[in-house]
Amino acid sequence: MKFIVSSTALLKNLQAISGVLNSSNTLPILDNFLFELKESTLYISASDLETTMTVSVPLANAGESGSIAIPAKLLLEIMKTFPEMPLNFNINPDTFLIEISASDGKYKLSGYNAAEFPRIPVIENANTIDINSLALANAITKTIFATGNDELRPVMSGVFCELNENDIVFVATDAHKLVRYRRNDVKPGDVTSFILPKKPLNQLKNILAVQDVNVKLEYNDVNAFFSFGNVNLICRLIDGKYPNYEAVIPTNNTKKLIIHRSLLLNALKRISIFANQSTRQIRFSVTGQELNLSAEDADLSNEGKERLACQFEGEDIEIGFNSKFLIEMLVNMEYDEVLMEMSAPNRAALILPAEGTQSEEDILMLVMPVMLNQ
């Protein structure tokens, strides 16, 4: 098994899939990349059993087909040291010895039998939809931060994907905050839903955001399969019933505050420094057309206050929020002005774009209040 490959092209593709690797695996073979040479294309895979990611690298010069498992950490360390140059791989299929030749160097390392690597799942009886890579990256970015980490509630650790005839909806919640992101430019036709795990979505987000291509998403009751460019990713869906998120979105919100997003975001970042670092509590006091933000840490005698101009409709309100949640939401809102809809100090508040969303997308964020210290 022989082939010549560009050092930078190989490193780029190895780094693209390396996030799938776990720091500790029950199967030692999963500490390796699977290399499969088929005619003039090199396929490289990484897996943690739940998620498998494969990239294809076209080769100008390749010998006989074959496969081998190569230690991932060691190979990545080697590749990072090379400038752009052709590397000659010569692999002995009997001893699994790998010899890498560069311009003035020769390096040897031991690989493993590719037959020990778990078989890459094949998705059967699948439905298919197409979605733009930038739109999918946007959907992942705007929802994934709101997913939960509670091992006892695994369904809330992923992003709920709801397919309807004329749109696709992505939802994430950890019971303290919730994001609903809808794409109106995707027409699945099919009506179904499934829960995508967080880890493969993080992998996809980083790659999708830098290219504008069509993504083919295939899914059945067990797996989801994403393919675009030279990348294939298959992941096991989270099993379980997602909570009825629509039921927690308040509809009768009589208090409406419009404010410039970046002004509020920067003020929150400043005031949160003075908040108690365990509760991160910030007090919102809205009177007339003025928003007063305040936070204090009584143990350290820290206190911060700031006044902002706003547009407000409704009776005055005083309500507390976790500053970390609000900052995360405003960072991912990306609109000049935001609308906060509230009803009472003990009811959830909504954060929406003030100027209305673009026709192809619709976003709603919800944050639960925290009890104020009197």
CATH number for the domain harbouring residue 257: 3.10.150.10
Confidence of residue 361 (pLDDT cuts 50, 70, 90): confident
240-267 CB burial, b ≥16 within 10 A, e <16: eebbebeeeeeeebebbbebbbeebbeb
Single-letter amino acid code for the residue at 26: T
pLDDT exceeds 90 at position 96: yes
Q: Are 271 and 297 in contact (CB under 8 A)?
A: no
- Residue that terminates a domain, selected from 183, 217, 246: 246
Q: 42-51, 78-87, 233-242, 347-356: which range is least confident on average?
A: 347-356
State whether 192 and 103 are in the same domain.
no
Joined together, the tokens standing for residue 264 give 């509020």
Angle between helices 261-272 and 323-331 (to 10 degrees): 150
Percent of the chain topping pLDDT 90: 82
State whether 224 and 264 are in the same domain.
no
Tell me if 266 is assigned to some domain: yes
pLDDT exceeds 90 at position 249: yes
DSSP state of 114: G
> How many C-beta atoms lie closer than 10 Å to residue 361's C-beta?
17
Q: What is the mean pLDDT of the chain?
A: 93
State whether 107 and 155 are in the same domain.
no
Provide the pLDDT for residue 60. Answer: 84
Residue 307: name the closest of 325, 292, 318 by CA. 292
Q: How many domains does the chain have?
A: 3
State whether 222 and 280 are in the same domain.
no
Q: Region 316-324: what's the mean pLDDT? A: 96
- Residue that terminates a domain, selected from 246, 268, 289: 246
Residue 257: name the closest of 308, 192, 202, 206 by CA. 308
Provide the pLDDT for residue 210. Answer: 84
Local structure of 310: helix, strand or coil: coil
Provide the pLDDT for residue 125. Answer: 86
Provide the pLDDT for residue 372. Answer: 83
Alpha-carbon distance 164 to 190, whole Å?
6
Percent of the chain topping pLDDT 70: 99
State whether 202 and 231 are in the same domain.
yes
State whether 133 and 214 are in the same domain.
yes
Query: Which residue did the predictor score with more confidence, 211 or 129?
Result: 129
Tell me if 332 is assigned to some domain: yes
pLDDT exceeds 80 at position 356: no
Alpha-carbon distance 87 to 103, whole Å?
8
Tell me if 373 is assigned to some domain: no
* 195-204 pLDDT, tens digit each: 999 999 999 9
Provide the pLDDT for residue 357. Answer: 57
Tell me if 372 is assigned to some domain: no
pLDDT exceeds 60 at position 183: yes
Q: Are 284 and 322 in contact (CB under 8 A)?
A: no
φ, ψ at 232 (rounded to 5°): -125, 135
Tell me if 122 is assigned to some domain: no
State whether 348 and 330 are in the same domain.
yes
State whether 105 and 131 are in the same domain.
no
State whether 104 and 147 are in the same domain.
no
State whether 231 and 255 are in the same domain.
no
pLDDT exceeds 80 at position 32: yes
Tell me if 374 is assigned to some domain: no
Confidence of residue 131 (pLDDT cuts 50, 70, 90): very high
Tell me if 99 is assigned to some domain: yes
pLDDT exceeds 90 at position 374: no
Alpha-carbon distance 74 to 100, whole Å?
13
Q: Region 260-268: what's the mean pLDDT? A: 97
> How many C-beta atoms lie closer than 10 Å to residue 10's C-beta?
20
Q: 10-14, 235-239, 295-299, 370-374: which range is least confident on average?
A: 370-374
Q: Region 267-272: what's the mean pLDDT? A: 96
Confidence of residue 4 (pLDDT cuts 50, 70, 90): very high
Tell me if 361 is assigned to some domain: yes
| Angle in degrees, CA 125, 122, 24, rounded to 5 | 135
Confidence of residue 154 (pLDDT cuts 50, 70, 90): very high
The region, left, alpha or beta by phi > 0 then psi within -120 to 50, assigned to residue 301 is left
Q: Are 67 and 92 in contact (CB under 8 A)?
A: no
Unique residue bearing structure tokens 């709603």:
364
Q: Region 100-105: what's the mean pLDDT? A: 90
State whether 87 and 174 are in the same domain.
no
- Residue that terminates a domain, selected from 182, 212, 246: 246
User: What domain range includes position 280?
Assistant: 249-367
Provide the pLDDT for residue 152. Answer: 87
State whether 258 and 362 are in the same domain.
yes
Task: Give Cα separations from 199 to 12, 162, 202, 239, 281 (angstroms).
Answer: 20, 19, 5, 15, 30
